[in-house]
Each structure stands twice: as C-alpha cells, then as structure tokens.
Amino acid sequence: MTEWLASYSSILIGIGGLSILILIFSIIGLGWFISQIPEDYFIHEKRKAADNWDKYSSKTRIVIIITKNFIGIAMLISGLLLLILPGQGLLTMIIGLLLIDYPRKFQLEQKIISIPSVFRSLNWFRAKARKPNLLHPRQG
C-alpha cells in the first residue's frame, strides 16, 4: 500500500490541490452567482428578456454569451468533481446549468427549483448575501 501511495504521490497531491481550489471557488463563487439571480426569475412561464441587454454591441454580446457558456461548462464539470470531492457539487452543477444556453433550459430550471431541498439551499445562500428569497415557480 505504501509503495502505491509513493508511486502516485504527485497525482494524489494534484487531486488534493484541485479539491482545495474547487472548494475555495465554490465557497466564494457559488454564493455570488446565486445572489445574482433575480428573485422573480423562476415564476414566469417564459423567460423575461434582460432589461440592459440592448446597451451592448453585437460583438460584446457574443463575447458575453461565449464567456457565460464557458464558465457554465466549467462549473458543471466542477460540480461533477465535487460530487466525489469536498464541496457543494449539486449546487455548483445547478449554477452551471443556469449559465449554459440550451433548448428548453427554462423548463428544466423550473423543475429543478421545484425540488424543496434545492429551493431551500438556494434561498439559504441568498439570505447569507442579504438578498430576498427566490419566489417559488408555483407562487407566480
């Protein structure tokens, strides 16, 4: 057993370091992302258009969309890793899914937010950020 640990020590140290980095990112980033969700985001039948989207040029919008999707994919992958490493795996995956663009995304978001434990967890993060609770899809 000690021979195995010695032969793979650099890999184990790398995985441990990655785990710590993901944990720090999830603690700092997850709360911020959750606090940025508008409180009435989930109560509409269709997603509302962003109020300030028109102030950006088309090139800037493309860069924002690509960056948002890249961050979403990174968070989704991090969330998958956090399922086996220390951290908030499911919440990180949910935030990643919120950032990525794909068909019928809004309906999936509403189904996920309807899970009581997920809804309570998101509102716990929002309370820590001194933001109002999210409105439940059935409240709208």
Taking the CA atoms of residue 22, residue 95, residue 108 and residue 100 in that order, the dihedral angle to the nearest 10 degrees is -90
Q: Model-level pTM?
A: 0.59
81 domain-assigned: yes
Q: Which pLDDT belongs to residue 69?
A: 94
Instruction: Judge contact between 97 and 105, C-beta under 8 A.
Output: yes
Q: List, in order, residues 6 or more apart from 119 with CB less than 8 Å away.
A: 113, 134, 136
Output DSSP code: residue 50: P
- Span 55-59, mean pLDDT? 85
pLDDT band at 51 (very low <50, low <70, confident <90, very high): low
Coil, strand or helix at 117: helix
62 domain-assigned: no
90 domain-assigned: yes
Candidate from 7-21, 29-43, 117-131 with smallest mean pLDDT: 7-21
Query: How many domains are there within the chain?
Result: 1
5 domain-assigned: no
107 domain-assigned: yes
7 domain-assigned: no
- Structural domain that includes position 107: 69-132
27 domain-assigned: no
82 domain-assigned: yes
Using the predicted structure, report yes or no on whether residue 86 has a pLDDT greater than 70. no
Mean pLDDT of the chain: 82
Nearest to 73 by CA among 92, 60, 47, 86: 92
Tokens 């663009």 correspond to 101
Using the predicted structure, report yes or no on whether residue 87 has a pLDDT greater than 90. no
Tell me the DSSP string of 9-30: HHHHHHHHHHHHHHHHHHHHHH
Q: Which pLDDT belongs to residue 38?
A: 85
Using the predicted structure, report yes or no on whether residue 70 has a pLDDT greater than 90. yes
Q: Which residue has the higher pLDDT, 77 or 86?
A: 77
- Span 26-36, mean pLDDT? 80
